[in-house]
Structure 1
Amino acid sequence: MTALLFEALDTGAALADAILAWIVAAAVVATVVLFTAVLTGAWAWRAARRGLAGAWRAEQPAPGPESIPTPQRRTGPSWALDDKEAA
């Protein structure tokens, strides 16, 4: 009778260890899946925002010639200019 009780307790402890190991493994897998889902969602959100921003930029008219600054002409570096050109 005592041997049967020890055998039942030993089997129960082995089952408890196995169940605990499965719970830990499931928690690790769930954590990896959750992190992957968050990173994938962030990547998709960023890609969607970039795509929409590009579409919004394409809808805006191009700047007119009056808004484009004209380049200033220089004949050389500022330290090499004559006094009358610098003034």
Structure 2
Amino acid sequence: EAFAGIDDEARASCMALIREFDLDFVMTSEREWGCYPALPGLSICQLVRREGMDAVYVSRWSWDGRVRCEEPDPARRFPETATSER
């Protein structure tokens, strides 16, 4: 569980360290989305299930450092950022 037991301010500080050290990361949490201004971009996959169904739906989201948006295009892997190379 990512960041279990630490407050929001400490989480934000950890995210700033992730950016400062230029780390790639994967985290799992039932409540943490990782959307902090210190991170310029994230690709987010939320796993959704329903009782009685033997399936899991992957809901895709992106974070651009300011706004979290649902991604309708499954082919798009990473959010656009102002410094993206094309």
Q: TM-score range by the shorter chain?
A: under 0.3
Greater share of strand: 2
Q: TM-score with structure 2 length normalisation?
A: 0.19
Query: By percentage of residues, which structure has more helix?
Result: 1
Higher relative contact order (CA 8 A, sep 6+): 2
Which of the pair has more CA radius of gyration? 1
